[in-house]
Structure 1
Amino acid sequence: MILGNRRYRHAARTGLALALPLAALAACGGGGGTGTSAEAGSGKGTISVWSHQGQKSEATALQNAVKSFNSSQDKVKVQLKLIPENDYTKTITATDASQLPDVLEFDGPTMANFVYNRKLAPLDSYVSAKTLANATDANKAQGEVGGKHYGLGMYDSGLGIYGNKKLLDDAGVKYPKGLADDWTAAQFTAALKALKAKDSDGKVLDIQEGNGLATEWGTYGFAPVVWSAGGSLLKDGKAEGALDSPAVVSALKTFQSWKPYVDANTDGNAFAKGRVPLSWVGHWMYPAYSKALGKDLVVLPLPDFGNGPKTGQGSWTWGIGADTKNGKAAGAFLDSLLSDTNVTAMTTANGAPPATESALTKSALYKQGGPLQLFAEQLAKPCGDTDITKSCVAVTRPVTAGYPTVTAKFGEALNSVYGGTDPKDALSKAAHAVDQDFSDNAGYKIP
């Protein structure tokens, strides 16, 4: 689901897109196996590395990391191959495991499917204990299957609501200062009504509608509504009873009621130009919004539907090819790649929250007192993908080989609800379709 929209292509680089490749993944299910154990090898020689070709600054940061590693020692030489972003996941999907590189990057939600199809090996034995310990808990949650880690990322992602302080104050709207005093869903709805009364066209909210809701943006951006209502996209391998629970139906009715307040934002400038005072989006819009609003920009958590505020998380991550013959060398490169120097260079290039504890603590944007401190606070309270309690905030999208079906059906339901369909009917239909697909594929079990 890489769209032509330039802004969403940037969002895709933070691991929020690729619905078309995800759909393709669904068709390649049936592996029924598990990621194999890579051969350790000598720890010397040449290894191949694949990465998606993101924005120029990201590619430069990665190329510099490879050059630095190659020049810092003479045991291992990395040969880097950049593959166009639009083709990247499809390329991995279509490539036999024996032809995959020693080290490869992949979008977080695709990981379980690659494990299922025996294309990834656990990396626990090959990266250092220090590297694993330094990964944030949210980062590790995204990359774990069956107690083993198959992916570790350089950066993460997060959602929030950007607010225009001047417009909020002019309308007399009180807004949260952080997670501790987040809006309830009812308070958020009341804020929309108050803002509408002071707005010329009544359109006061941006939800990045131009990215489409029947897409990975729909799942990443609005599954937090489901989680905050106490529901889940998938629970114990089933969607029925979790995705279509009464609390989730009620929450989606509230979401549906916001449509009259939404600016379609066809030019991508609704918030930056001051047409709307609120924008429901992620960390990646901070540079543009900060430049446009300056001190009038405030960063707020998503509203609480009863189970605490929630956010999506997860992004591009790195792993080891299942058929590598040199796991030691692959691990040595990953240790270098995930160092503070390289993580900081990459997150400076793309503005994403660092996915390592040490780099996150020192980040000018995300450190305590930084302008995006909220995103770091959210990621510091990870839920994983199963234990979604009231006290945790950052939820990992379901780590399952069947994720392509889950996200496709939820996106369809969300789009239908936004278009006026009864939420109970849309969610029940989606839950039934997900469960039927999982039944047809033996639950996508990974031994």
Structure 2
Amino acid sequence: MEENTKFKKIRMPTCNSLFATPYSMPLRIVMVGHVDHGKSTLLGRLLYDTHSLPEETRKSIYAIGEGFEFSSLLDVFREEQAQNITIETTQISVRTALRDYVMIDAPGHREFLKNMITGASSAVVAILLIDVTEGIKEQTRGHARLLSVLGIRKIIIAINKMDRVDYSQEVFKTIMIQVTALLLEFGLFAQEIIPMVATQGINVVISNQKKMLWYQGMTLLKAMEAIETPLPAKEGPLRLVVQDVYCLKECSVVVGRIESGVLHIGEEIIFWPGGQRACVRSFESWTGSKADFTLSAEAGEAVALTLEISKGKHSVNPFVEYTDLVLMRGQIASHALQSPSVGKKLVARIFWCDLEPLRLQHSVTLKLGTQSVQGKMISISPVFDNAAQMSIKNFPQNFISHQEVVDAEFLLEEPIAYDPYDVIESTGRFALAVGKRLRGGGIVLHAGE
């Protein structure tokens, strides 16, 4: 324990270090699994075996020897992140010769939902960890259900603690069959199913065929490397999610993230809801970087725009009359011919993770992008319940229970800008809150009637 106390003084790597390599987009992977199935140990071991830790830290671990608990790496990092109360998931960079990764450890369903709804840290791959001695547990089922709702289709299954069943191939096959059936219930399948021992590093980065001669498949790192990095959606319609607006004397500066499409200087854009129009005069920078010479920005980039309010022959579009802009956080900017949906009614597939049911006509806050709008659920469609073998419950139903998935219609107090999830993922998923507490989330299917 004394060595671990000294170890806590060593600074941990953060996901900010990834951007020292600007030529590759990091692959964002969320680690999920039932409590005590070994998520923290696996993440700590992955950091160590990929040499993603500072060399001084690796030497300290080596000196401690086999008694070192790799889960303590994550405990140290959570203590550092606890100073920022807005962060509820641990995000750590893993760097290899092939690719950079951001590994996201979400302790529970609420933290997982919050992470997925906040755009910059959204994962596209999941590692679902299962203790081979316990098999599929309640949180395992809940996470599989949630992966389906949020549209995460690239899943790696890690069957951990194989040493506790004497590396038995038969036990592994039994769990493999069970988890494959579970995923199929939600329309999912595994990219790889890997037997491992996280504490010893077996099949994490390096295989150990002496222990499991019967397994000839990939290690966890090889499975991660085999997944293609998704390209930013620059070919799609423009979607700029507004984070902040600064109103200056002669112009407005809008700060946000481009979730889809490409934006060029001189283009006219429209802000939704509201329909305010403006032209992009320049891309701004507070660091003296290349922004002064940038003529365009695309999906995946955070930007600061100077908007021009002009009239007459010097306007980029002289046929459009510009008035004073009243822009605000939460709006979504688009080009004129490819606007998002805007309205007070929408139909969504939602996952409810609170023990207290969500009832019809009960006030709830819908958070999409940087928008936050009060509303209520006005109807529920058939509920598919995994515990009841996906059977349809009796209707009419006036509430949603813990860990249920439903299709529901919402009526909002104010219009909201959105896209169906199958059109643009990032502007088609949302969180649900009651008061200040996150209770659920989901994806937009289509506009309400």
Note whether the superposition's TM-score is higher than 0.5. no
Answer with 1 or 2: which has the greater Rg.
Answer: 2
Using CA pairs below 8 Å that are at least 6 residues apart, which structure has the higher relative contact order?
A: 1
TM-score where L is the length of structure 1: 0.28
TM-score where L is the length of structure 2: 0.28
Higher helix fraction (1 or 2): 1
